[in-house]
Chain A
Amino acid sequence: MAVSGRNIVIPHLGRVEGHGGIFVKIVGNAVQEVNMDIFEGSRYYEALLKGKHFLDVQGIITRVCAICSASHTVAALTAIENALGVEQTERVHALRGLMLLGGTIESHALHVFALALPDFLGFDSVISMAASYPQEVAFALRLKQLGNQVQGLVGGRAVHPVNTLVGGFGRLPRHRELEGLRRELVAALDPLMRFVDLAATIPVPEWAAQPTVYLALRPYTDAFRFRGRSICTSRGEEYPIESYRDVVREYTVEHSHAKFSALASGETYMVGSLARLKLWGDLLRGRAAEAMAKLFPSGVVDNILLNNWAQLVELVHAVEHAAEVCEDLLGLPEADREMVAYQVRAGRGVGAIEVPRGTLFHEYEIDAEGRIVSANVITPTAQNLANTERDLRTAVEHLLAARQGDNDATLKLNLEMVARAYDPCISCSVHLTRLSPAAD
């Protein structure tokens, strides 16, 4: 070869959920190829659901991914209830919302503090970080535990909920349990705000910044919420949830075997915390609005590394709002169980939820006997893969142009930071397929 070329290979990306790597091919000073390689094995969940009874869907589909089990549970139940025409009661709606908030607290605390923050402070793990920041790490773990407590109380277990049924819940939390939880949530707010102050002092590099299209659900009410009623983009487009297949175009690419996603225009886009703050950040209230003002003083800026801080803002919102939901639930009379009666009928239903990593779509078609005819799941990580590759490419180009790209080790760390900022959930993204590892 006349022009010198080199490959940057990260064979196994650390501090993310699941198994993936990054492959970058540089020839001279030009980036030729950027691949997110994902070598998680296939489990074919959607295909396995065919012929199963709709009552069995939640217990199966939750096991696509442990970290996102509350998210998959609520999305699946919502889709199935939409297909059957089941209306959620006020209490069921509130409790599912509370479980989603618990999942968000656990997931964001895990990602911001244990997976991402070590990069910004120069450690290889949260465990080694604990030596220098013992109080901070102890609080971060406590916060993660609080998220699990919320999920445990509502779902019966922190991972793969068991209490969540089509039409309701097997066991309702007692008032004294809700009151205890509410007090712990309120007590977590002050120490959490101190983290916001700490984060505001950490400089965030700009070598991955570039204009981006964002997508998120419009909240079902005039407030910052993780459940919505339509799909919106940062370019002002709005679509009904049922038309998600027209908005999110899945396609296959030759260099990787996973389904990628783009908008109808062909543009890649980002889903997740940064997208939600970009679109609906002005709906935040209370301490979350304070956190937003501190971490995004001039609004949301196009820089994927800021997604970590966006998650921190959402963490404040989730803790604050979960306490409010507990209070709402305490206003309802105490009961043992809540189940809506319904008739089994043939139908098709979509459930779309804003989950920690972005917009999650579930769709099921049910026959008159209650059997699953078809199932479709589009995860946030799969939607973000194309945009991740785009941001990785930009990062390499910027670093090469700034003559900071000569050192492979630095370049690798920077690429890992970009991939980790998306908080990829690889088990989710490849619930149905497998990508071959990078080969040169």
Chain B
Amino acid sequence: MTASKPKVGIFGLTGCAGDQLQILNCEDQLLRLAERLDIVDWVMARSNNDHTCRLDVAFVEGVVATERDLETLKEIRARATTLVAIGTCAVWGGLPAMHNEIPREVLQREVYHRDTAFLDTVEARPATHFVPFELQLPGCPIEREEFLKLVNAVLLGSRPELPTVPVCWECKTKENICRVVHFGEVCCGSMTRGGCGARCPSHGVACAGCRGPVEEPNYDANITMFADRGISWVEIARRMSHFSAPVWMTHGLEKEVQRGRQR
């Protein structure tokens, strides 16, 4: 039986290690996972790792924020048959990519108050921007159940069945009171991919969009809906710019914000 155990590597580029932690957080299933997977390269959880062998499956979290990250990513790609992006950073860029329009030198000076030419740093981009991935699992962090489902599918040689509905749909099935209609808040639930069970609105908090966009999100209609409720352009942009910064800028909101600021 052990001969058929797939060789697995788990890697983090630049990030908070939250998606790797979510794997460790599968406490009930961790030892069973270890029985079914041959985890040979996982620096966060073990020493004596094999950094060169072929991998049947490799999981990668985080953004590429340094030249070194990119080299690491290319090495992993070359070793892996099935490459899986885990977490919103790896799939979409997440918070580290929030302000790529600001030159890195400006950020460095802000933090260091001195010349920082010695730093190796590039704009933060999702891992999926650089190499092809067979599977992508967003979430900030990923949901444990979705991860386990995905592993199961990979072990069975099929593809994981993951929700494509928006958070808004899950929120309706929970019969939560709508954050937009009843509270006049900017909620990203109808633009954001579900799978979290509408966690934030279920806690009385508007969706921040941490799982990244649903397929074909209708940003314009959402922005109009918020504006029609008297929410200012600045407020709309503020709420929508965390996890979807690159998107709202292309939808003319930036111009509206500037006008709003002049008013």
Contact = CB atoms under 8 A, between A and B. Distances in A.
Given A14-B49, A66-B16, A434-B119, A127 B31 contact: yes
Interface in A350-396: none
B24 interface: yes
Interface stretch (A155-163, A218-226, A265-273): A155-163
Contacts of B31: 127, 130, 137-138, 141
Given A125-B45, A163-B205, A41 B39 contact: no
A43 B97 CA distance: 8
Given A14-B46, A63-B18, A124-B47, A434 B66 contact: yes
B121 interface: yes
B58 interface: no
Contact of A162 (B46, B108, B112, B205): B205
Nearest to B34: A127
Interface string B106-128: 11101110100011110010000
A114 B24 contact: yes
Contacts of B99: 48
Interface in B199-227: 199-200, 202-205, 208, 210
A155 B144 CA distance: 17
Interface stretch (A52-60, A86-94, A191-199, A284-292): A52-60
B52 interface: no
A39 B110 contact: no
B18 to A, nearest CB: 3
Contact of A47 (B30, B66, B69, B110): B110
A41 B242 contact: no
A170 B21 contact: no
A201 to B, nearest CB: 24
A14 B18 contact: no
A427 interface: yes
Most chain A CB inside 10 Å of its own CB: which residue of B16, B31, B104, B114: B16
A41 B65 contact: yes
B12 interface: yes
B47 A416 contact: yes
Contact of A157 (B27, B39, B65, B199): B199
Nearest to B61: A66
B17 A18 contact: yes
A342 interface: no
Interface residues of B, number: 65
Contacts of A60: 95, 98, 242
Interface string B227-259: 000000000001000100000000000000000
Interface string B135-151: 00000110000000000
A120 interface: no
B256 to A, nearest CB: 17
B46 A59 contact: no
Contacts of B210: 160
B17 A427 contact: yes
Contacts of B96: 43
Contacts of A114: 24, 45
Contact of A48 (B25, B47, B98, B200): B98
Interface of B: 12-22, 24-25, 27-28, 30-31, 34, 39, 43-49, 51, 62-66, 68-69, 94-96, 98-99, 102, 104, 106-108, 110-112, 114, 118-121, 124, 140-141, 199-200, 202-205, 208, 210, 238, 242
A-B interface, 9 closest residue pairs, ranked by CB to CB distance from nearest: A41-B14, A66-B18, A41-B65, A125-B46, A170-B204, A14-B47, A47-B110, A145-B27, A141-B27
Interface of A: 12-19, 39-44, 46-48, 50, 52-53, 56, 59-60, 63-67, 69, 110, 114-115, 118, 124-128, 130, 137-138, 141-142, 144-145, 148, 156-160, 162-163, 165, 170-171, 252, 257, 337, 416, 427, 432-434, 436-437
Given A14-B48, A60-B242, A163-B203, 15 more contacts: A14-B44, A17-B44, A47-B110, A59-B242, A65-B18, A66-B21, A67-B17, A114-B45, A141-B30, A148-B25, A158-B25, A159-B21, A160-B140, A433-B119, A434-B66
11 contacts: A41-B63, A41-B66, A44-B108, A48-B98, A56-B242, A65-B17, A114-B45, A145-B28, A159-B22, A162-B199, A162-B205
